[in-house]
Chains A and B, each alone.
Chain A
Amino acid sequence: MLETIQNLALGFSVALSPAVLMYAFIGCVVGTLVGVLPGVGPLAGISLLLPATFGLNATNAIVMLAGIYYGAMYGGSTTAILMRIPGEAASVMSCIDGYAMARKGRAGPALAIAAVGSYIAGTISVVALMFLAPPLAEFALRFGPPEYFALLLLGLLVLAYMSGGSMVKALAMAAFGLTLGMVGIDQMTGYFRFAYGVVELGDGIGVVPVAVGLFGVAEILATAGQATPPSIMKPKLRELLPSRAEWRDSAAPIGRGTVLGFLIGIVPGSAHIISSFVSYAVERRMSKKPQEFGKGAVAGLAGPESANNAATSGAFVPMLALGVPSGPIPAVMLAAMMVHGVAPGPMLIKQQPELFWGFIASMYVGNVVLLILNLPLVGLFVNVLRVPYPLLYPAILAFSVLGVYAVNGSVVDVWIMLVMGALGYLLRKLDFETAPVVLGVVLAPMIEMALRQSLAMSDGQYAIFITRPISATLLCVGAVLVLLALRPLVTKTLDWRARLALAEKGEN
């Protein structure tokens, strides 16, 4: 404990030197700008800018990358809130209530809550990372394919149990997303599935073009199709900060989102995306006013925004403690460390303490810099809403195409985005929620891989899922959830979903 604090002091002495601070600042600015581009999230941001850091020394480079990473993460929610365009896949959930808040004239508070939530989640999860990394990493390793499969299945059940509105429609959308996720090379046998000779489809349908298409492009089409254009917002200065009630409503979701995100983040895979979905579902279930979700509920923004930030810190646990990347973002960070002559691995903490602790300290500093940078920018960003629609929307469309193309340099991705945009427009007209589609696209390859790896491990015996303690426990929890969902059938009482449906009927 004392040692940790001494080490952290060492880290801060590195992170707070003027040169390092400057790179942290540059990283945050660049990251925010990159993150605002639709589709270009932290992963693409770090990858695109990694080569630019090769000329710097190790500490400066890592600090700048941490800044880019936090900046891109935050920049992604800005467009989600203001224009309903997910800057990256993890901000899909912010598109729903964040954008609804903006339409109600609360764009400033929404941006401020996202910034503060991200800051709190980021800082707390770095503290957790610092103290808990070694034991948590050992625990994360025990998640093999069977445990992973059980966890993902449980995740799907939780979402189905907690999503609002029509269950049939939500499940249909999730199933559609899962089907899209089947496209691409079969990782277990090498067969191409549903690729129709397009080499690019071998990698599957990316979540970024789907998310930008279903949310951003569909929104543009829907607005353009209205008989009267929506009125232009004129945000006033005193409306930029959240009200006392809004702060109160966001406090608990930020706390829950942080814990949830950090825990989910340790498990390998696209954890930051999943964590934001789970957090949204949990908030809706816990809320006393579930009917407000989708119409600008503060909790529906604060929870997921905190969760996805905490999750990405959680993802650094296995990387720092074991030197093994648990997902794409830590993998790029690891590569950056290697370029600068830092041998990643279990010995990193002992062998290069100033770098390790400098990195930890720079994560604190990055969070603070970002908050200082972004709170004043809220006033600037909301002015985007003043731009007349005939100018704003074509510009957004152009930036969406640019952003989606930039991620992989693939025209196929742009086509996927456009097709998804048309489809999203149709689905909106028919009153389907499109978020489950995005989740399905993320989950399908992971669930499939985990299931088939488990069966390869057990030589085809399904018993592997119940003979291993962690996966058995997770599956039991899942079974209980299914039983709970069936309870109203037996007791003939209305559950919250039915009550919600009735309430909505009354409103219309």
Chain B
Amino acid sequence: MVRRLLSVVAMALVVVIVAHGAVPAAADDYPSRPVTIIAPFPPGGVADLTARPVAAALEKIMKTPVGVVNKTGAAGAVGMQSVAVSKPDGYTLLLALSSISIIPEADKLFGRPPAFTVDQFAPIALISADPTILVVRTESPWKTAKEFIDDAKKRPGQISYSSSGIYGTLHMAMELLSHAAGIKMRHIPTAGAGPAMNAILGGHVDALASGPSVVIPQIKAGKLRALAGWGTQRVAALPDVPAFKELGYPDAEFYIWAGLFAPKGTPEPVLAKLRTSMREVVNDPGFKSAMEKLETPIAFKQGDEFQKFFDADAKRLAEGVKRVGKVEEKK
């Protein structure tokens, strides 16, 4: 009985392996089987919530099933690493956030063997890019970004801010501002964007940099005041809030972005097919309404344009991580 079962299993395995190998790696008939998008964060996070409408639209456009798999752990490093080393055939894709450029730099800083490097990925398309917004409580004394920065200059290390965690996106935004404006602030890391918001609402810290969709409801409710944003332009939903660029701090540029990647070495025709499909995705009404509900404007870039954005962003963040340095090196 057992032997018969084993032989059945072995047969099944052989069939699966043969079938797998029989699928031609040729790119001209891509996609000929289901595609998987890895979201390196748990369901309900930004990466997951962006990946699912992308998958739904891609499925319609490429006429092949597209699934989302949440491969979480170590702030996204586990999922990103798994795509970096996967077969570059276009059937395993990655939906990554800004942190993809930060993790390898942090690894380097601590002398760890990096889980992956940014050049292991081929960018397909940028989906969204939200500049962070600097907010303070409504009852705080600072009415403008200038007042805030001037006060921070007078009292180095006294004004505190919360972040989503050390070397996290919200920390990096503040670090880029501190460098651009030549100020020093006190950093209180928390366990995520939610707790960081709690800390400022409760008055335990003075300032916070976070995404528009997170801060706008609190601004509308009269609890927080926006001072400035990290974008090249003002945010459409906050027309009165200047960008740091206008205020004379061109280096204070930072986005919380989401983009689709394939492992490096994916054949060019496959990448081309994915890029044209992604252009259709961002015009798909279902996708558009899904992103509207998330209050995340679509910021589509692909090809060289995305590569340029990605490189510039990675460079800024790498410098930021190096400037923050290891905690023990300070004092």
A314-364 residues at the B interface, CB under 8 angstroms:
318, 322-326, 331-332, 334-336, 338-341, 343-347
Neighbouring A residues of B68 by C-beta, 8 Å: 51
Given A344-B217, A345-B218: A50 and B73 within 8 A (CB)? no
The number of chain A residues with a CB under 8 A from chain B is 51
| Residue pair A50, B44 in contact (C-beta under 8 Å) | yes
| Residue pair A145, B73 in contact (C-beta under 8 Å) | no
Given A50-B44, A54-B52, A188-B189: A346 and B218 within 8 A (CB)? yes
Q: Smallest CB-CB separation from B202: which chain A residue? A: A141
Neighbouring A residues of B3 by C-beta, 8 Å: none
Neighbouring B residues of A188 by C-beta, 8 Å: 166, 189, 327
Q: In the complex, which range does the number of interface residues on chain B fall in?
A: 35 or more
| Residue pair B202, A339 in contact (C-beta under 8 Å) | no
Given A54-B52, A340-B293, A409-B71: A268 and B44 within 8 A (CB)? no
A199-218 residues at the B interface, CB under 8 angstroms:
199-200, 202-203
| Residue pair B74, A199 in contact (C-beta under 8 Å) | yes
Neighbouring B residues of A18 by C-beta, 8 Å: none
11 contacts between A and B (CB under 8 A): A188-B327, A189-B327, A190-B167, A199-B74, A331-B44, A334-B44, A335-B48, A336-B44, A338-B49, A345-B217, A409-B72
Cβ contacts A21-57/B at 8 Å (1 or 0 each) = 0000000000000000000000000011011001000
Partner of B49, one of A48, A200, A335, A459: A335
B91-132 residues at the A interface, CB under 8 angstroms:
106, 109-110, 112-113, 115
Cβ of A473 within 8 Å of any chain B Cβ, yes or no, is: no
Cβ contacts A129-163/B at 8 Å (1 or 0 each) = 00000000000011111000000000000000000
Cβ of A192 within 8 Å of any chain B Cβ, yes or no, is: yes
Neighbouring B residues of A409 by C-beta, 8 Å: 70-72
In the complex, A54 Cα to B53 Cα: how many Å?
10
| Residue pair A449, B191 in contact (C-beta under 8 Å) | yes
Cβ of A408 within 8 Å of any chain B Cβ, yes or no, is: yes
Cβ of A185 within 8 Å of any chain B Cβ, yes or no, is: yes
| Residue pair A457, B205 in contact (C-beta under 8 Å) | yes
Report A148 CB to chain B, min CB distance, Å. Answer: 10
Interface residues of B (CB under 8 A from A): 42-45, 48-49, 52, 68, 70-75, 77-78, 81, 106, 109-110, 112-113, 115, 157, 160, 165-167, 186-191, 194-195, 197-199, 201-205, 217-218, 220-221, 223, 290, 292-295, 326-328
In the complex, A261 Cα to B110 Cα: how many Å?
42
Neighbouring A residues of B194 by C-beta, 8 Å: 324-326, 331
Cβ of A456 within 8 Å of any chain B Cβ, yes or no, is: yes
Chain B interface SS verdict (over half)? mixed
Summed over the interface, the residue pairs from A and B with CB atoms below 8 Å come to a total of: 139
Report A421 CB to chain B, min CB distance, Å. Answer: 22
| Residue pair A346, B221 in contact (C-beta under 8 Å) | yes
| Residue pair A203, B73 in contact (C-beta under 8 Å) | yes
B190, B198, B223: most-surrounded residue (chain A CB, <10 A):
B198
Interface residues of A (CB under 8 A from B): 47-48, 50-51, 54, 141-145, 185, 187-192, 197, 199-200, 202-203, 268, 318, 322-326, 331-332, 334-336, 338-341, 343-347, 408-410, 449, 453, 456-457, 459
Neighbouring B residues of A50 by C-beta, 8 Å: 43-44
Partner of A324, one of B157, B201, B326: B201
| Residue pair A191, B110 in contact (C-beta under 8 Å) | yes
| Residue pair A335, B45 in contact (C-beta under 8 Å) | yes
Neighbouring A residues of B204 by C-beta, 8 Å: 144-145, 457
In the complex, A185 Cα to B78 Cα: how many Å?
14
| Residue pair B198, A347 in contact (C-beta under 8 Å) | no
| Residue pair A324, B197 in contact (C-beta under 8 Å) | yes
Q: Smallest CB-CB separation from B56: which chain A residue? A: A54
Given A199-B78, A332-B44: A339 and B294 within 8 A (CB)? yes
In the complex, A339 Cα to B289 Cα: how many Å?
10
In the complex, A324 Cα to B188 Cα: how many Å?
18
| Residue pair B199, A144 in contact (C-beta under 8 Å) | yes
Neighbouring B residues of A185 by C-beta, 8 Å: 74-75
In the complex, A209 Cα to B115 Cα: how many Å?
24
| Residue pair A144, B326 in contact (C-beta under 8 Å) | no
Report B114 CB to chain A, min CB distance, Å. Answer: 11
A185, A324, A408, A459: most-surrounded residue (chain B CB, <10 A):
A324
Neighbouring B residues of A449 by C-beta, 8 Å: 190-191
| Residue pair B43, A459 in contact (C-beta under 8 Å) | no
Given A338-B293, A408-B72, A410-B73: A345 and B44 within 8 A (CB)? no
Neighbouring A residues of B52 by C-beta, 8 Å: 51, 54, 339
In the complex, A133 Cα to B228 Cα: how many Å?
32
| Residue pair A51, B73 in contact (C-beta under 8 Å) | no
Neighbouring A residues of B157 by C-beta, 8 Å: 459
| Residue pair A339, B74 in contact (C-beta under 8 Å) | no
In the complex, A456 Cα to B143 Cα: how many Å?
26
Neighbouring A residues of B292 by C-beta, 8 Å: 341
| Residue pair B217, A459 in contact (C-beta under 8 Å) | no
| Residue pair A339, B217 in contact (C-beta under 8 Å) | no
Neighbouring A residues of B42 by C-beta, 8 Å: 47, 332
Report B284 CB to chain A, min CB distance, Å. Answer: 15
Partner of B198, one of A47, A326, A344: A326
In the complex, A410 Cα to B166 Cα: how many Å?
25
| Residue pair A332, B43 in contact (C-beta under 8 Å) | yes
| Residue pair A199, B166 in contact (C-beta under 8 Å) | no
| Residue pair B77, A453 in contact (C-beta under 8 Å) | no
Report B110 CB to chain A, min CB distance, Å. Answer: 7
Q: Smallest CB-CB separation from A413: which chain B residue? A: B73
Apart from A145-B199, A334-B44, list 13 A-B contacts with CB within 8 A.
A141-B198, A143-B202, A187-B189, A189-B326, A199-B74, A323-B217, A335-B43, A335-B49, A341-B292, A456-B160, A456-B186, A456-B187, A456-B189
In the complex, A141 Cα to B78 Cα: how many Å?
33
Neighbouring B residues of A202 by C-beta, 8 Å: 73-75, 77
Report A263 CB to chain B, min CB distance, Å. Answer: 17
Q: Smallest CB-CB separation from A145: which chain B residue? A: B204
Neighbouring B residues of A189 by C-beta, 8 Å: 166, 326-328
In the complex, A141 Cα to B49 Cα: how many Å?
27
Given A47-B44, A202-B77, A338-B294: A453 and B218 within 8 A (CB)? no
